[in-house]
Amino acid sequence: GAGVSQSPSNKVTEKGKDVELRCDPISGHTALYWYRQSLGQGLEFLIYFQGNSAPDKSGLPSDRFSAERTGGSVSTLTIQRTQQEDSAVYLCASSAQGFPGTQYFGPGTRLLVL
Amino acid sequence: AQTVTQSQPEMSVQEAETVTLSCTYDTSESNYYLFWYKQPPSRQMILVIRQEAYKQQNATENRFSVNFQKAAKSFSLKISDSQLGDTAMYFCAFSRLEYGNKLVFGAGTILRVKS
């Protein structure tokens, strides 16, 4: 079946602009995660959604970052007023259950802020 | 907070040979999960192998096996009969037994398999 998909694959934006990154999890997976992969910080957890429960936002680096998950499926990660330090690969993962399900990752969105 | 350390930034191995990637972690938990993920140049993170801390038996998946030393907080990955397709970045990751089981990753080890 189809895996986790993310769009766009690459995004170049100017400092100060807003960007939206999309994640389509594997059908039927109730848990969805966002991670960020950057040269300076490695792989970091950002946010976690499980069904209709309140998300775990403990990894979001600032209030410029937000995410939503509509209808328990597609998720959008929004970065407002982008900064150069936001340049990174943003990875989405889903699992069939929050715990202890194996996380399946998408190919990521590479974001470059000029 | 949990930390995961991979002390080998880069490794290389000849095709068909065996290589071991190191990983240590720090936690006060007694039950948890450990993972090895592979990330080839395509960026797609792929689960290689998973170990539950309460299991004493080391996990194996075909050519991949782990040496899990709970007391030493060590979790190394052994790749036997290395293949060119094994060339990738390998990440060790830790997950608590908690709501969400978010992953804590090490810095990664670049593995190059040479022909």
Q: Does B50 touch chain A (CB under 8 A)?
A: yes
Tokens of A43: 């792989």
Q: Does B110 touch chain A (CB under 8 A)?
A: no
The pLDDT value given to residue A100: 64
Judged against a pLDDT cut of 70, whether residue B6 lies above it is answered with: yes
Q: What would the pLDDT profile of B18-31 be if each residue is shown by its tens digit? A: 999 999 999 998 88
Q: What would the pLDDT profile of A58-79 be if each residue is shown by its tens digit? A: 999 999 999 999 887 899 999 9
Average pLDDT of chain A to the nearest whole number: 91
Q: What would the pLDDT profile of B82-103 be if each residue is shown by its tens digit? A: 999 999 999 999 998 766 678 9
Q: What percent of chain B has pLDDT over 70?
A: 97
Q: Do A43 and B91 touch (CB under 8 A)?
A: yes
Q: Do B47 and A101 touch (CB under 8 A)?
A: no
